Amino acid sequence: MDIPEYNPSLYEVVDKMGSGSYGSVYKVRVKSTGELAALKTIEMEEGESMDDALTEIQVLRDCDSPYVTRYLNCYRQGFDKLYVVMELCEIGSITSLMSKLSLPGLPEPTIAYVIMGTLQGLRYLHGQHKMHRDIKGGNVLVNKKGEVKLADFGITAMLNATWGRRNTFIGSPYWMAPEMLTADSYDKMVDIWATGITAIELAEGKPPLSQYKWQDAIRKIPSLPPPTLKEPTKWSPEFRDFLTLCLKMNPKERADIPVLLEHPFIARKHAPLGPHHLLPLIAKLG
């Protein structure tokens, strides 16, 4: 894959949206079209292969789903820095939306809508024989229309290929499936576990075991029973059953995406699901 050198004159930086262990994310305007986009800088570290990163970016480029953030372009700067330009989701992640509004959790119908979009994105990725490996509220983005899209798969997961890059993992510790910590291999069902953890995160504001340091949490995940809601009686039987199907210790016992999308929590209890569940929250941002 031939990647051109980054030319800063192509984009006007509008705002810095955030930063992390890999670099920063900026809201930019494409000067040739006026379109707004998200530009993510990725710093390569010693031992990380630019060629491997470009292979993953090829996967991003080939993705075509309304539930996955759209790839627009990619550039390199020397051999240690990448610039990936993606579709802009103006509201940011569902986690950041909750934080901005100081919400301790979301109403159950809103959770069902966000999880439905997450599952639709995963159905597409799994159909392309691709795992996400880092499902969490921070990687579920929302645009100004209230649409839900998955982000930060592929390139981020690839760079996280060992236990050590800046004290991070393949994925985020609190959302990790037990087999990611104990087995020699794992499959797409790790995304189902992480979806269940994300649903609890949206309900309670934090994932299970977040009261522990991540080093302690990863020791507890494989040995404790599957997590549950802290106050189960506050939530519907359908929601509780949905979580049970996602959070099986044995990955072979977890429900797959078609079953989960037809589950009453998604398909009947809160139907019809749509952006109207998020638009009132977006309006509060002003």
What distances in angstroms separate CA 64 from CA 42, 59, 68, 127, 164, one per listed residue?
23, 10, 7, 12, 32
pLDDT in tens, 229-246: 999 999 999 999 999 999
- Domain end (from 87, 115, 150): 87
Query: Do residues 32 and 63 share a domain?
Result: yes
Residue 151 lies inside a defined structural domain of this protein:
yes
Residues 121 and 46 in one domain: no
* Amino acid present at 271: A
CA–CA dist 230, 13 (Å, integer) = 43
| Mean pLDDT of all residues in 184-204 | 96
Mean pLDDT of the chain, nearest integer: 89
Residue 127 lies in a domain: yes
Report in angstroms the alpha-carbon separations of 140 from 63, 167, 196: 16, 22, 13
Under the banding of pLDDT at 50, 70 and 90, the label for residue 86 is very high
Which of 45, 71, 87 is the last residue before a domain boundary? 87
Annotated active-site residue in 51, 64, 80, 134: 134
Residue 151 and residue 167 in one domain: yes
Q: What is the CATH number of the domain that holds 28?
A: 3.30.200.20
Pick the residue with more confidence: 131 or 203?
Answer: 203
pLDDT at 160 over 50: no
- Of 43-47, 63-67, 148-152, 224-228, the one with minimum mean pLDDT is 43-47
Which pair of tokens denotes residue 127?
């159909």
pLDDT of residue 1: 64
Extended strands (E) in 44-94? 71-77, 81-87, 92-93
Q: Which of 1-15, 205-219, 252-266 has the lowest mean pLDDT?
A: 1-15
What's the pLDDT band for 174 if we cut at 50, 70, 90?
very high
Q: 101 and 190: one domain?
A: yes
Q: Is the pLDDT of residue 15 over 70?
A: yes
CATH number of the domain enclosing 243: 1.10.510.10
The CA-atom distances, in angstroms, between 50 and each of 56, 58, 80, 124, 179 are 10, 12, 7, 26, 29
Is 134 an annotated catalytic residue? yes
Provide the whole-model pTM: 0.90
| Model confidence at 264: pLDDT above 90 | yes
- pLDDT value of residue 59: 73
Q: Are residues 188 and 257 in the same domain?
A: yes
Which of 205, 94, 203 lies closest to 142 in space, CA to CA?
A: 94
